[in-house]
Amino acid sequence: MISFYLNGKYHEISHLNPNTTVLEYLRLHEHQTDTKEGCGSGDCGACTIMAQRLPSHVMSDSSDSTPFYTFNSCIALLSLMDGHHLMTASYLADNPAHHPERALLHPAQQAMVDCHGSQCGFCTPGFVMSLANLYENNRMQQQQNAKQGSTNGESSYDDPSYDDIVAAISGNLCRCTGYRPIIEAGLTMGKIGQQRVADKTVAKDLTISLATDAMASNSDALLKTASLDTSNKASTIEPALAEGSRQLFIPKTVDALNQLLAVYPQATIWAGGTDLGLSITQHLVDHEVIIQLSAIDELKTWSLSHSKSSSKHDSKANAKLLSELDNSTDNEEEVQELTFGAGMTYQQMLPILEQNYPEFAALFARTASPQIRNMGTLGGNIANASPIGDLPPILLALEARIHLRHCNPNNRDMGGEEANAKDENNEHNQKPYIDEIIPLSEFFIDYKKTKLLAGSYIVAIHMPLMQANQHLFIHKISKRYEDDISACLVAVRIDLSADGMTIDHAKIGLGGMAAIPLLAKNCQQALLGQPLELASFEKAAKALPMDVSPLTDVRASREYRLHVVQRLLIKCGKQLIKETQTERESS
């Protein structure tokens, strides 16, 4: 059974097609037609709604700090909303008597009216939800600041900046009104909120604590379904949703996931579903068995640890578990390594990337949309194996490693030297699964084909931290600046010698240039040992046709891709030379 709140009303569901999306449920089951269906693929934002995750205990004070977020309801499974409060545009207004003329519109709604931000109105609910999400998160942050004394105990509503508003609506498309009045509405809604505070107008509070207080009679039911009994074997775990032969499971722990995959190795593994959702809406696939990863907190953690630098190129060492790498005590040289759980969303990764890989983090503003970044996961992006995925080329350039787990008993005899290493690491075959950690460059085999087998999943990604002599450059080419897939993407990491005058090591990750994300090995080789001069990069760029032979498609021609990537490699050289010159001058 799944449970959630929809516009303040508690819902429990157990008998439903697991392939049901949030949008389908809203419009066809609840007749909540204020949420619109546009593209059905997560691109236009017309279906945008707002959600807030319920805390583990519905009456917990921690709910005050839980942010709202938006997502595309057209491609999100309803089961992903287990333990959430969902809000559509009609819920934002304070309208207890159901008389529109007496309703107090949400500041985002009122601002859209005042600034004439709607013509045909089809996209308007989605824009309203994106603006309201920005407003509410900003308001909650201001309340936290007030509690901490940073605003002298007075609640205030700072206006979001122009850039904040553009970023918030970057996943919403308008085909007739134009964006100027909508952006003006975003700039105005803060002033409306401030005026209401000054007028002491009691506005509707959308925070979870108030929503759950108003429905205390349902609290016990919510707590009762908050956890899954993982003491049973997978064969006895009840599906969260079922209809006919179709089943959906929501394991709460990695152990439960391992058990389920051993029983259902052919199941569809569902993380954020930002690409898999299209299999339902565009290709009309009806998945028989779905195992949803959204409730496994162990896959959403990150850590900073040490690993042996020699393990990057040692297949046996790569098969060791993370715990063994962390606990090694010999005298081999160690490097710091950042580990992201495969279930972390883009948005969850962003603050960690900003601290450790600022160039990587900067790309996120151009990766998909806020709605997608709130749902899409690191593991899902990699497992999808799209040749135009934004993350894999960067991870390849960073020499990331991928932690795989194989749970299908039929796949455990994998043969060879690596299998023996895995057997040793799994306590003489006592564990019901096999772990392996391999370079990401070995993970992608062919178009949409990877090292993942039936019953396998991605546990984590390990990324060495950048050293002082390493420099990272990332360039994405797409038709739209935001919310668009790549025509091509280049990630270049250059390691310089101690004096900063020679290229000691180079990794060049490419996306959109072949059937899989890959490293440009000939270009890399052409840079090794070369002086830090523009001519070195010009020479390396000429080797690109030996690495890839891209296709012509609707995004770009073969010739365009080759020419652009060659110029981007040279641009990276110019950036590096300028960067090192600045460093020398400042020192």
pLDDT digits (tens, 9 = 90+) for 186-230: 999 999 999 998 998 888 888 766 445 443 444 444 444 444 344
Distance set, CA 310 to CA 99, 314, 325 (Å): 70, 7, 12
Q: How far apart are CA 225 and CA 495, in angstroms?
A: 52
pLDDT of residue 556: 93
Q: Residue 392 — very low, low, confident or very high, per pLDDT cuts 50/70/90? A: very high
pLDDT of residue 33: 95
pLDDT > 60? residue 571: yes
Query: Using N-to-C axis directions, what is the helix angle for 124-147 and 179-198, rounded to 10°?
Result: 40
Q: Flag the least confident range among 126-135, 155-164, 485-494.
A: 155-164
Q: How far apart are CA 63 and CA 488, in angstroms?
A: 41
The amino acid occupying position 132 is A
Q: Flag the least confident range among 120-124, 168-172, 416-420.
A: 416-420
pLDDT > 70? residue 311: no
Long-range contacts from 156-160, C-beta under 8 angstroms, 24+ separation: 156/194, 156/197, 157/190, 157/193, 157/194, 157/197, 158/190, 159/187, 159/190, 159/191, 160/134, 160/135, 160/186, 160/187, 160/190
pLDDT of residue 217: 43
Burial group, residue 105, by CB count within 10 angstroms (0-12, 13-18, 19+): buried
Q: What is the pLDDT of residues 574-587, one digit of tens each?
A: 999 999 999 888 87
Write down the H helix ranges in 199-236.
208-213, 219-224
- Phi, psi at residue 539, to the nearest 5°? -70, -45
List, in sequence order, every beta strand (DSSP E) within 488-549: 488-496, 503-511, 518-519
Q: How far apart are CA 179 and CA 175, in angstroms?
A: 9
| 3-state secondary structure string across 54-84 | CCCCCCCHHHHHCCCEEEECCCCEHHHHCCE
The amino acid occupying position 72 is N
Q: Residue 470 — very low, low, confident or very high, per pLDDT cuts 50/70/90? A: very high
Q: What is the pLDDT of residues 336-387, one digit of tens each?
A: 999 999 999 999 999 999 999 999 999 999 999 999 999 999 999 999 999 9
Q: How far apart are CA 261 and CA 573, in angstroms?
A: 47
pLDDT > 90? residue 128: yes
pTM over 0.75? The answer is yes
Q: Domains, the chain, ranges and CATH?
A: 2-219 (3.10.20.30), 227-292 (3.30.43.10), 299-466 (3.30.465.10), 469-587 (3.30.390.50)
DSSP 263-312: H-TTSEEESS-TTTHHHHHTT----SEEEE-TT-GGGG-EEEEEEEGGGG
Task: Of 370, 369, 427, 360, give the one whose Cα is nearest residue 400.
Answer: 360
Mean of pLDDT values over 468-476: 97
DSSP code of 399?
A: T
pLDDT > 90? residue 274: yes
Q: What is the pLDDT of residues 135-169, one digit of tens each?
A: 999 988 888 887 777 545 454 556 889 999 999 99
